[in-house]
Amino acid sequence: MRKVVISGLLTAVLFLGAVGTVDAAKLKLKWGSTSVGSGLYANTVTMAGIVNRAYPNDIDLTVVETGGFIENLSRIERKFIHLGPASAAAAYASYQGIIDFKKPNPTLRSLWGGYVTPIHIITSKKSGISTLEALNGVPYAMNPGTTSGRIIELFFDALGIKPNYKLMGISASVDAMKSGSVQGWFKAGFKDAAVLDLESAMEVNIIPVTKSQIDKMNAKYPGHGLLMTIPAGLFKATPKEQISYAYVVSDFVHKDISADVVYKIVKAVYDHRKDLNTLATLKEGKFEEMYKMALDFDLLVPFHPGAVKFYEETLGVKVPAKLRPPEMK
């Protein structure tokens, strides 16, 4: 009997060490994000701050810089972080073990439906390139290991476009654009700091996309392509309203985080959702409709039980079977 008790205590200690630590009854959790300076990093910092202020004695969320969405999904599975953003399409592929993922990741759970974020397809003004088709054979900065990079690869493949990809990081991509060693690049985010930095040094084009191009993407890679209207004046290169490629970003959490903690996280963010309108990405992405977005865009990674409890008890909605986690069935 004593061995069983000791074993149970050891298991609990190991679990807390992996998933979070308790300090004076406060649970310390890591919220992964993306690179510092990105719009998504600012979003995550804002949401974590909202939760920390709402539950100062219960939860201590720390935002951690990561390499992006794919890395976040892997880190959540291994409990290196406890929650973080990813594209809904990549998360579903990870959950099912399809496309770029060799095995299923059953540990993922959704917090909310998320919001829409654009990918800006950028070329130097000097290059004269103003259409996607003109990118064939052009030196083009590619950021490997990022969700947006993979999406751009799939998008160009669906359209039959074959740029001359040059593999490099985000900072190196900005420098390469400035030096002229590449003539094109892409960047996810709304009013993104890296794009603003680029525009401060040179003139660029941000190429719009068309519905027919998105239809070709979805015909080959279902569910990956969306359209988003970029407001006039977002960048110097977009003096007029135009259509951009976009995808749904949501936040995911490890299934082993308690329902009570997840309930509090979702509640705090929802209760202060109007405060998030100061952030351009969340405002334009209609984050206020975060539950509805899960239905509109067919988010198929199930909600965490704590999120289900919040939506059903507070919003008075019945979460459909496809979004209920296995542990609640």
DSSP string for residues in 170-197: HHHHHHHHHHTS-SEEEEESSS-HHHHH
Q: What's residue 103's pLDDT?
A: 92
Report in angstroms the alpha-carbon separations of 2 from 10, 11, 13, 15, 234.
12, 14, 17, 20, 65
Given the DSSP bridges, would you call strands 115-124 and 184-188 parallel, antiparallel or unpaired?
Answer: antiparallel
| Length of the chain as a residue count | 329
Residue 198 structure tokens? 């680029």
The rounded distance, in Å, linking the Cα atoms of 327 and 91 is 19
DSSP state of 318: -
Which residues pair with residue 23 across a beta bridge?
A: 26
Q: What's residue 136's pLDDT?
A: 97
Task: Compare 79 and 225 and report the one with higher pLDDT.
Answer: 79
The rounded distance, in Å, linking the Cα atoms of 46 and 288 is 15
Q: Is 300 helix (H, G, I), strand (E, B) or coil?
A: coil
Q: How many CB atoms lie within 10 A of CB 138?
A: 17
**Whether pLDDT at 13 is above 50:** no
Ranking 12-26, 138-152, 268-282, 295-309 by mean pLDDT, the lowest is: 12-26
Q: What's residue 295's pLDDT?
A: 64
Q: Is 13 helix (H, G, I), strand (E, B) or coil?
A: helix
Q: Is the dihedral of CA 46, 48, 50, 52 positive or negative?
A: negative
Q: Is 76 helix (H, G, I), strand (E, B) or coil?
A: helix
Query: Phi, psi (5° rounding) for residue 252?
Result: -125, 155
Q: What's residue 283's pLDDT?
A: 46
Residue 28 structure tokens? 């310390």
Q: How many CB atoms lie within 10 A of CB 283?
A: 15
Ranking 16-20, 116-120, 196-200 by mean pLDDT, the lowest is: 16-20
Domains recognised in the chain with CATH numbers:
2-115+249-328 (3.40.190.10), 117-247 (3.40.190.10)
Q: Is 232 helix (H, G, I), strand (E, B) or coil?
A: coil
Confidence of residue 117 (pLDDT cuts 50, 70, 90): confident
Task: Compare 167 and 146 and report the one with higher pLDDT.
Answer: 167
Report in angstroms the alpha-carbon separations of 311 from 98, 114, 176, 314.
29, 14, 46, 6
User: For residue range 202-229, what is the model confidence (pLDDT) as tens digits?
Assistant: 999 999 999 999 999 888 876 677 888 8
Ranking 123-132, 255-264, 275-284 by mean pLDDT, the lowest is: 275-284
Residue in the structure block whose two tokens are 């206020």: 288
DSSP state of 304: P
Task: Compare 11 and 161 and report the one with higher pLDDT.
Answer: 161
What are the residue ranges of helices labelled H in the chain?
2-19, 39-54, 69-78, 88-96, 147-159, 170-179, 193-201, 211-220, 259-271, 280-284, 290-296, 305-313
